[in-house]
Every structure is written in structure tokens, then in C-alpha cells.
Structure 1
Amino acid sequence: MATFTSSALAAPRILFEVSFKEPQAHYAEIKMEISGLRKDYIDIKMPVWTPGSYLVREYSRHVESLEACDEAGERMPVKKISKNTWRITAGKKDQVIVNYRIYGFEVSVRTNFIDDAHAFLSPAATFMYVDGLLDHPAEVTIVPYRTWSKISTGLEPVAGKPNTFHAPDFDILFDSPIEVGNQDIFTFEAAGVHHEIAMVGGGNYDKERLKSDCAAIVEEATRIFGVNPNKRYVFIVHNYQSGGGGLEHLNSTVLGASRNGYQNERSYVGFLGLVAHEYFHLWHVKRLRPIELGPFDYDAENYTTALWIMEGFTAYYDNLILRRCGFLSENAYLQALAGDVNTVENRAGNRIQPVALASFDAWIKYYRPDENSANTSVSYYNKGALLAMMLDLKILAATQGQKRLDDVLKAAYEEFYVKKQRGFEEHELQALIEDIAGVSVADIFRAAHTVEPLDYNQYLNAVGYELVDHNRGHELPDFGVSTSVSDGRIVVTGVNRGSGAWDGGINVKDELIAINGERLDNGGRELNRILQTAAVGDKLDVLVARDGKLRELSITLNRDTKGAFSIIPLQHATAEQESLGRIWLSR
């Protein structure tokens, strides 16, 4: 493990100390020492978002009691000049000491959470930076609460300074989450890299199995890119009664999991999929990236249309890696892939929003879903994964199985991250793919920017598989609502675009009371009976309560356009098709 000495830090110096006087109230105390600037005033700023989570989260809303003084303790005037900027009148003094508190009580992989058991620090939500000095190094000293004994972070320790860590610049600091508490820590070696797993919150996990299975994922991901850029990597896993989610970092990740889900095979494989997804980001996003995603502007949105490539390709590879490692059977893998098709094709927003625009609008839509989101938007994860599949299969077919998407990503990593040391533009990646495949992929890149239907079988058939819709040929009626039961009432939570309910005027928050004069039970039995015996074109008299008033609506049942998709072997496939299919799904 590399270490640093404080003498290696060039002036000006920026030092932080984090302590916990009232963790039970969800507070941390931050001391920031700035020396060597000698300016009339210094502006310090709190990031408004964190890389990898594309939403302005306004971290400064959790800052309070910010004060500044010199080395002798003499107070300096502080004025807040914007939502995330404080101006300190420093009078050209050599040292400025800033003290502030942060509140953290939000369970997620991207926000601070502090209680009497542990503290998870999302650095962008914790540490301020001096305006104009993002490229300067920083030192962070953690003073654990009296009952805590462990610190887990990807930051490198400073030699001779207990609980003190070095960040070469603030981009790296903001990309290095910190867990402080009594987490269960165990390690394994894979791909020449030392890996640490920090388990927070307990759980029924099997350490030896986890180490072995995570190592297999690490080895396969490293094989794809040909090199592992780290010497050390940290998994911070927060185990909850029910949890999920992950966020990638340069040499670490933060994962959410269900503490008692490790002994359930389906839940456990789902967790391994999360591990594979976030570890794949080590290359794909954190190093190989769109040109817009770095260097970052921490004051505002950083727009890109390429999240269908970054998150979508990663979502394709997470399950593919599980297949290659033997954690998914061929049938289970194809079911997972068909699940993406069902998710995309049965979402009305897929015909409204191009997936590239979904990427661009992530800042205002993806993290702020509402009752109409399914009708207006599509996920760049699911649809991006399907576009990645199409690229993979097209490359396989064009090169007779000699090349595939793996080869593209490895070449792109070398070309843009290693050689050019910059992000790529979308047209550059397309050109690289076409150079490797020897065939145009303009159809797939064009599909990312339109809402035209995807011809999956054009690509699947080439490798001996086909997508089938088990609803095709059936005339099924579509009432078109989703509901929940609240206080014994059946309440509408969503209305599907183009359905009978949509055309007939049923609203979200309507209480469904009766249909055709029959009172509905809150178990849904009567509603199911009515719909199971109805036909396309039937009219239903629906009694609803809306804002305390009764209304009767006439609903005509439209044809249900949703599919029930699966991927199966192609009948009468040629030997060449079967050979390509074996390459595609080989372990």
C-alpha cells in the first residue's frame, strides 16, 4: 500500500478533520484548515451533486453553523453569497480555519448517514473546496466516535498519522467515500489487486463464498479490459432489512443489500449482479467515459447523451459476467435479457423519449419519477443494455465470432483513457466499433436517438436465437390502471397511456368503488373477475371517488398492446448460427 508524508503536500495546504460529537443526532463536525493562500477573501464551496448520480442534490442544505477564524482564534467575517458558496474575509492571513457541521440521515449510496452505530460519509456532501483549487491535494483526518474503531475508504493513508488520509486532488477526494464504525472487514486477492469488503449492519453472508464469488467477478471483468488499474479496491456494503443500489467510485464502491438475503439464492445472485455492475464501472465510466463527464463542474449539471452507453453497456455486462462466471444458467441469463425487453417494450414512454434524451434529462427526470413517468420516459439502463446486446451480436456475426463488444471496450479504454487521456465523443466510439467490426453500426446508434421500434430478431437470429411474444395473436382487453390499497380503499396509482382508463378519464388518486354496479373488494377479486370475462370493445361503467366527490365514468376497453417476451433457441438454426450462439453465451 502506498503511503504519503505531509512534506509531499505543496503549498497551499488544505487539511480536514472530521469528528462526531453528536452522532445519535446525525451530526458530524468538520474542521477545514487552509494555509498559504494569503488572500483578501476566500470563497469555499460545497458540491451540489456527486459524480455517478445525476441529480443536483443541494448538499449545502445540510450545512450549519459555519464559522471562520485565524490561527489565534480571531473570528473572520463570513458571508454566504450563493446557495453553496461562503465568502471569508481573510485579510491575507496565512491560515484560515473553517468549522461547520453537517447533518446526515438519508439512507442511500450517495448521501451522508450518521447515527450512533456508524457514519457513512459521501465526500461531495461532506467536504468543501476552495474555489479555483480543485486540483490541489488535501488531507483528511477522521476522529472516530468513542465506540467506533474502524475506517474503510479508498483514500491512501498518510505515513505516521493515524486515521489520516491523502487525496491528490478534490476530484479524487469527492470520489472516495468513507465508512467509520465497527464494520466487519475481510479481504481477498484477485487480478493482482488487494480487495477489502467492509460489511455494515450485519447479515447472514458467508465470507468465504463472498470472497470466492467476488474474486471470480473481478477476474472476468479484468480479463475483458486486459488490465486492472488499481492496487487496492474497497467494497463498502450497507446491509439493511431491505436494501439495494450501488454507486461506483475510482477504486471503491458503495452497495446496498438486504442483510438476510445472502442465503436466498435469487437474492444472492442479484447481489452478485450489483457487484459486477459497479466493478465494471471501474473501467467503464470512471476511466473510459464520455468527454462531458470530466473534469467535473460541481456547481451545476454536467449533461451528456451517452449514459445509454455508460450505464446501459454496464447493465448488459453485469448479467453477462454472471453468466460467464457460472452464476447464471443459459436459461436464467436469457430470462434476464428478456426481462429488459419486457421492461422497455411495455413502457409507453419508450415511444415518447429517445434513450439518448433520457440520458440528457436524467438530471430532471430519472431521479424524480412521478405517476406519469412510465408514460413519458425510458430507462437508459434497460434500453441501453439491449442496444449493447445488439452491438455485441452484430460484431460477432460480422467477424464470424472473432470479435465482440469486449474487444471494442478494451480498444476504447486503450485509445481514449490510456493514450489520449480524455473522454470520447459518441461518433468516435461508433467509428472505433466500425473499424473493429468491419461493418456499419449506424443503425444501432441511430436507434439511441429515435423512438423507432427495435428489430431484436435481426440481431438475435444471427446467433441462433429469437425473441417471441407470447401475447401475439391474442386480443386481450386493457383497462390500464395500477392500484394500491390504502385504508381499505382501492386507489389508482398509475394510468397507462393509450388504455381504456387513459381515454376514459380515470385519474391517479381516484378511488375505484364499483364497476357495472358491482362493488369492488379491496383484495382485487371482483376487479379481476370483471376484467377476465371482458373483451376488447366492452364498455364499463366505473364509479370513482375523486377529491371527495362521486363520479361515474364510461370506459371502453382497448386492446392490450403489451407483450410477454422470451428469448428461445431459433428453430432450424444453421451450424454457423449455433456456433456464434455458443460463443455469445460461453462460460
Structure 2
Amino acid sequence: MKPDYPLTYRVQLTAPATHLFDVELSVSRPPGSQVILSLPAWIPGSYLIRDFARHIVTLTAEDELGERRCDKVDKQTWRLNDVRGDLTIRYRVFAWDLSVRAAHMDTTHAYFNGTCLFLRVLGMDQMPCRVELIKPAGADYANWRVATSLRRLTAPPFGFGDYYALDYADLIDHPVEMGHFELAGFRVRDIPHWIAITGRHDAHLERLGQDLARVGEQQADLFGELPLDRYLFLVTVLDEGYGGLEHGYSSSLICSRHDLPHARLDRPDDGYRRFLGLCSHEYFHLWHIKRIRPQALIDASLTEETPTRTLWAFEGITAYYDDLILVRAGLIDESAYLDQLAQTITQLVRWPGRRVQTLAASSFDAWIKLYKPDENTPNAVVSYYTKGAVVALLLDLMIRRVTQDSRSLDDVMRALWERHGRTGLGVAERGIEALASEIAGADLRDFFDQALDSTSELDIADAIAHVGLAMRLRPMRGPKDLGGFVARWDDLPASVGLGVGLRPTSVEPVIQHVLTGTAAERAGLAPGDTLIAVDGIRVTRDNLDAVLQRLTVGAKVRIHAFRRDELMACDLVLEPAPADTCELCLIDETSPERTQRRAAWLHAPGSC
């Protein structure tokens, strides 16, 4: 009997302790057909070739004539000739990547993204697919459930059974979580939303649902509609972790259990604000990249890089709005938002790579640079998330200024939705730049030439003065100092700096990178060196900053460090710590006009 769908995938967790998914693919094709199978090399939304096919352990094929030979064409492609009758492909996939991108399985849960599990049948991309999720056998798995945004066929809500996808692109856009998870529901514009949390935690789920509902309402108000009938937040909780990946009807998130709200939390602390910002970021993407899409990525190959200069806008604008939505929703106050904005500017200023790589080049080279960081990344690369968010801020304030506050970046987003999101028409490489000029009623080419295609410094201070904010850069006051929003400036004490960043995962003071043009570079320190002593005093991760601040600018000190297993010594002349930490404050005697502009910016019409 032919299957109900031309393509049927059966996913079974035969033995979770072995971390292997068993997948069976049934293909209905005319007799004598050639069948070519391929697995994607990257997942949409994450711009790095990951070669998921390397995790396929075994692969066999069978048709009505029996077992068939599969010819491997390249690293991720198989070919079968002269197929007779229905074809069944059986393969095993190793799943031990605990991230939002791939697949992970153990005796506590199983998670996968379709890109690393579902073989693509070339020529059948537009065919509907059935997915059967089979519960593992045994009493240990009797209470396991399923959380996915896939459409249900015969499966009960949150249960094992049959699901379906409209085509292959839809198939790989619905991650799946199986196991024990806590579930909470809420509604945005009367559309059902769920949060499924895997891992031990003490989160106040009712509070979380209420807060996410406010985020969703704000974003739906911004774009004017909510273009879906369901949405799911899949959350994996770890001791330490942070990350997210957007999908059309869901998002996959990893967070620290300490970032989730607990019952005694009166207002969002830094951890919970960070988690809400992550949720806001991925939710914003359901409009801005999943439906408003770059033209370059609409028909992008799933097997090789597809460069585009537009990532600054799709990720940077999203990074700008993620926390702005929180203050508009009343979840954080103005001070908390401005504190976070100052820290974003600090992150930009501390990377010398902003003087080397343009923002457009950062977008274009994401595949080979930003997503492949090394010891020299801060010196050679600028993040299109960080600089993109700052450019989005400047663009928003510029539109407000030239239109006398009658238009803003909000209007650009609504126009993008009307012209591209609702129509499916891709955004051209310079389409957002042209649309912003149209909305502003002014030629913004000079702004974009500087912001996107040059490495000159952005005039942030002038832009934010329009809304009554002043900015200064000062030296860092400790390894955890990222700047922030302050009531007033205070005196700047003299301080010294080495110009190194330490490896965050090491208990010893191991240098991760040496910044260009600093005392450490001139002295010959290198990434991987383990600092031992400064001026004869032993240093650790905890006391390095205190030791340095007892010394004076211009002093010549001896540095001892291990390079691999060899003890090295070098002389270093201490230099002033760079002014690379941003502080924002309100301009003294701010005019009523500036106060009104700041309120209009931070609290758009319809905000809570």
C-alpha cells in the first residue's frame, strides 16, 4: 500500500543511552526513477557550514527487489538508480550536540532540528511529508511527551504519533523536544502560545507566561498583526548557557536556570532581563527574517554558503528592538534599558576590529569570520549583532530627527512587513536602505555609506543628544565593568591596562586574545600564554586587576608567563587603560522637547 504522503519519516529512539536516532524514510516514486538524497550542511538562521551528514553512522536502502546499493556522491549526498517500487531508506544519526542547532539525546530527553535528521529527496522539495514520532519502549519512558510546532495528524496534543509538514522547507523548520518537560500556556491576540522547559528549575511559570504575553502583544502591535495560529518556546535549562535560534512557529532557547524568574522576584534582575531579551529577540524574528526575508536567502542552497550584506539589518535591527520591546512592555524601566544600551556600546568600542571590518563586510563574511572566531577575532572583526544594533539606534533617531518625530524605524518595520512579509517578496541587498530613505523623506545614503561601508567611528553622542542623553567613554574599572546608565559623571581615576582578554572558561589567567596597539602586544605577549606574575607578584584571574591598579602609568614591569610548557619573561611599559567603557546619563536641564522625544522613543504609542 502506498503511503498517505509521498515522503514519510519515522523517527525512533531505540536506545536513548546510545545517543542514536533511528530514522526510516519511505519514498513513493515511479518505477525506474533515480533517487538522490542529501542532508543540509547548515541550518537557516545560523550562518556556518556544520556538515550535519558527518553524524550519519549507517545508511541502507531497500525497494521491492530487496536491498539496494547507495552510491555516495559527496560528503552529504547519496544516489540510487533504477528504483523499483516504494523505496525505504534506514539510517542512524548520532545525537550528542547540546545546542539549539543540532540533535541531542540521552536517557532524560531527546531533541533535534530537522536539518540534521531529515534527508532531503531532490526533486521532491515541494511534496508534503508525514512524520511519525515513536515513543521509546520501556517503563522509564512511559511518561515522555512531545513538544513541537509541527502540525498534528493523529498525534494527541504533546504526544507521540503522526505529524505532517507542507514541504521540505516546512519540515526542517520545526524543532522537536521529547522527554519530561514542564509546560505553560498563554495567549497573544487570542493565538495559543506555549513554553516547554526541559531541565531542573524553579521558574515561576505563571509569571513567565504573563511577561512573554506582554512581549508578544508589543511586537504584534508594532507590525500590526500576528501571522500564525500557534507558537512554541522550547527552553533547555542548564547551569550556565545562553543561545537561541528562530523558527517560523517556534524558537529553541538555552538558558541558565538562574536566569528564570522565581516566585520571590519582584522585578526582573539582570539574569531574567537577559532571558526575556533572548525570548524577545527570537520572537521578533518570526516577522523579521522568517517572513520578511533577504532575497539572497529565499532560494539559498542548504549545502553551501550564501553570502548577503543584509545580516546587519536582520540581526542588528532585531538586537536593537529586543530590549526596547521590554521597556515598551513595562517589563523593565527606562534606567534598566539605558543601562543595557550603554553596555552594548561598550561591547562595540572594545573591539578594535570595528576599525578594520565594515558592517556590510561583517554580514557578508559571517560564514567564515564571525561564526568562526579565533584569537584574532576582536582585532579583525566587528559583530553585525552589536554594531548592527547601534546603527539601528542611530537610524531610528535620525528618522525621528529629519521627520520632526513624525516617523521612526517602527514605520520602516511596518512597511517591510506590508511589502515583503505579507507578499513573500524578498528584500534586495540595499532594499532596507532605500526604504528607510523613503520613510524619512530624505536621502540617507551618506549615513549608510558611513555606517555600513566604512570603518569610521559612529557619532553616537550627537544622535542620542536628540533624546536628552549624554555619553562618555572612560577606562574600565574591573573585569566585570561594562559601563551603564548613571545619574551623573564622577571623577576618572588614573588606571593602567595590559590590553588582553582572558579565557573565560579557564581557572587560570590564560590570555585569549591580545588587542592591537596595546602594551601587551608591544611586549610580545600572545594568545594562550598563562600569566604567572606581574612585577614579581603572583597573579590570578581574581587579583590581576587589583595588582595592575597599584602600579603607575609609564612604569616598566617584568611579566612572567608560561607559553605552552616554557617559562617566558618580558618587560612591559604600563600604559593608560583605554577609554572603552560607555556611560550614559541625562543631559542637565533637559528641555521639555527632549524629554518628550525620549518618551516617544522609549514608549511608542500603544505601549504598556
TM-score after normalising by structure 2? 0.89
Which residue is equivalent to 1:582? 599
Which residue is equivalent to 2:161? 163
CA change 1:488–1:369 in 2 (3 A) is closer
Residues 289-309 of structure 1 deviation map (CA, whole Å, 9 limit, x = unaligned): 211121231111121111110
| CA shift for structure 1 position 23 | 0.8
| CA shift for structure 1 position 411 | 0.7
Which residue among 132, 136, 152 is the counterpart of 1:141?
132
Which residue is equivalent to 2:94? 103
Q: Answer with 251-260 or 272-281: which moved more.
A: 251-260
1:270 is aligned with what amino acid?
R
**Is the Cα contact below 8 Å between 1:235 and 1:252 reproduced in 2?**
yes
Which residue is equivalent to 1:3? none
Q: Answer with 484-493 or 177-186: which moved more.
A: 484-493
| CA shift for structure 1 position 540 | 2.2
Residues 239-283 of structure 1 deviation map (CA, whole Å, 9 limit, x = unaligned): 122222110001111111223432263222221111111100000
Within a 5 Å distance, the mapping from 1:410-559 to structure 2 comes to 410-419=414-423, 421-446=424-449, 447-471=451-475, 476-483=495-502, 490-516=509-535, 518-522=536-540, 525=543, 528-535=546-553, 537-559=554-576
Q: Distance in 1 between matches of 2:69 and 2:280?
A: 49
Which residue among 51, 54, 57 is the counterpart of 1:58?
51
Which residue among 67, 80, 84 is the counterpart of 1:88?
80
| CA shift for structure 1 position 202 | 3.3
Q: Distance in 1 between matches of 2:95 and 2:155?
A: 30
Residues 345-378 of structure 1 deviation map (CA, whole Å, 9 limit, x = unaligned): 1111111111221112211222222222111111
Residues 5-47 of structure 1 deviation map (CA, whole Å, 9 limit, x = unaligned): x86x5xxx11110001111111110000001243443110000
Q: 2:366 aligns to what SS in structure 1?
A: helix
CA RMSD of aligned residues (A): 2.2
Which residue is equivalent to 2:235? 237
Residues 513-546 of structure 1 deviation map (CA, whole Å, 9 limit, x = unaligned): 3444x142436547733443211x3322323333
Which residue is equivalent to 1:378? 382
Which residue among 21, 25, 31 is the counterpart of 1:32?
25
CA change 1:199–1:521 in 2 (3 A) is closer
Q: Distance in 2 between matches of 1:562 and 1:137?
A: 57
CA change 1:190–1:333 in 2 (3 A) is same
**Is the Cα contact below 8 Å between 1:346 and 1:562 reproduced in 2?**
no
Q: Distance in 2 between matches of 1:188 and 1:97?
A: 41
Which residue is equivalent to 1:68? 61
Q: 1:380 aligns to what SS in structure 2?
A: coil
Which residue among 130, 148, 152 is the counterpart of 1:153?
148
Instruction: Say whether 1:222 aligns with 2:220.
Output: yes
CA change 1:296–1:154 in 2 (3 A) is farther
| CA shift for structure 1 position 399 | 2.2
CA change 1:260–1:487 in 2 (3 A) is closer
CA change 1:298–1:37 in 2 (3 A) is farther
Q: Distance in 1 between matches of 2:421 and 2:136?
A: 40
CA change 1:185–1:513 in 2 (3 A) is closer
Which residue is equivalent to 2:364? 360
Which residue among 563, 567, 576 is the counterpart of 2:584?
567
**Is the Cα contact below 8 Å between 1:400 and 1:580 reproduced in 2?**
no
Instruction: Say whether 1:20 aligns with 2:24.
Output: no
Instruction: Say whether 1:287 aligns with 2:287.
Output: no
Within a 5 Å distance, the mapping from 1:397-412 to structure 2 comes to 397-412=401-416
The gaps in structure 2 that reach 5 residues or longer are 476-490
| CA shift for structure 1 position 439 | 2.2
Within a 5 Å distance, the mapping from 1:104-123 to structure 2 comes to 104-123=95-114
**Is the Cα contact below 8 Å between 1:499 and 1:560 reproduced in 2?**
no
Q: Answer with 315-324 or 265-274: which moved more.
A: 265-274
Which residue is equivalent to 2:479? none
Residues 164-201 of structure 1 deviation map (CA, whole Å, 9 limit, x = unaligned): 11111111111111112232222211123111221212
| CA shift for structure 1 position 211 | 1.4
Q: Distance in 2 between matches of 1:492 and 1:242?
A: 22
Residues 299-327 of structure 1 deviation map (CA, whole Å, 9 limit, x = unaligned): 11121111110111111111001001111
Residues 24-81 of structure 1 deviation map (CA, whole Å, 9 limit, x = unaligned): 1111100000012434431100000100011111100100210000146x10111211
**Is the Cα contact below 8 Å between 1:281 and 1:314 reproduced in 2?**
yes
Q: Distance in 2 between matches of 1:37 and 1:198?
A: 42
Q: Distance in 2 between matches of 1:417 and 1:354?
A: 28
Q: 2:193 aligns to what SS in structure 1?
A: strand
CA change 1:453–1:163 in 2 (3 A) is same
Q: How many residues align?
A: 573
2:73 is aligned with what amino acid?
I
**Is the Cα contact below 8 Å between 1:192 and 1:231 reproduced in 2?**
no
Q: Distance in 2 between matches of 1:525 and 1:242?
A: 23
Q: Answer with 176-185 or 468-477: which moved more.
A: 468-477
Which residue is equivalent to 1:48? 41
Q: Distance in 1 between matches of 2:149 and 2:549?
A: 55
1:498 is aligned with what amino acid?
G
**Is the Cα contact below 8 Å between 1:491 and 1:512 reproduced in 2?**
yes
Residues 199-243 of structure 1 deviation map (CA, whole Å, 9 limit, x = unaligned): 212311112111111111110010010011101111111112222
CA change 1:427–1:38 in 2 (3 A) is same
| CA shift for structure 1 position 488 | 8.4
| CA shift for structure 1 position 381 | 1.0
TM-score after normalising by structure 1? 0.93
CA change 1:160–1:582 in 2 (3 A) is closer
Q: Distance in 1 between matches of 2:558 and 2:114?
A: 56
| CA shift for structure 1 position 156 | 0.8
**Is the Cα contact below 8 Å between 1:144 and 1:181 reproduced in 2?**
no
Within a 5 Å distance, the mapping from 1:164-243 to structure 2 comes to 164-243=162-241
The gaps in structure 1 that reach 5 residues or longer are 1-5
CA change 1:289–1:541 in 2 (3 A) is same
Q: Matched residues, percent identical?
A: 32
CA change 1:269–1:539 in 2 (3 A) is same
CA change 1:524–1:407 in 2 (3 A) is closer
CA change 1:572–1:142 in 2 (3 A) is same
Q: 1:564 aligns to what SS in structure 2?
A: strand
Instruction: Say whether 1:351 aligns with 2:355.
Output: yes
Q: Distance in 2 between matches of 1:473 and 1:195?
A: 49
Instruction: Say whether 1:312 aligns with 2:316.
Output: yes
2:595 is aligned with what amino acid?
E
**Is the Cα contact below 8 Å between 1:23 and 1:114 reproduced in 2?**
yes
**Is the Cα contact below 8 Å between 1:151 and 1:163 reproduced in 2?**
no
**Is the Cα contact below 8 Å between 2:496 and 2:551 reproduced in 1?**
no
| CA shift for structure 1 position 94 | 2.3
1:529 is aligned with what amino acid?
V
Q: 2:298 aligns to what SS in structure 1?
A: coil
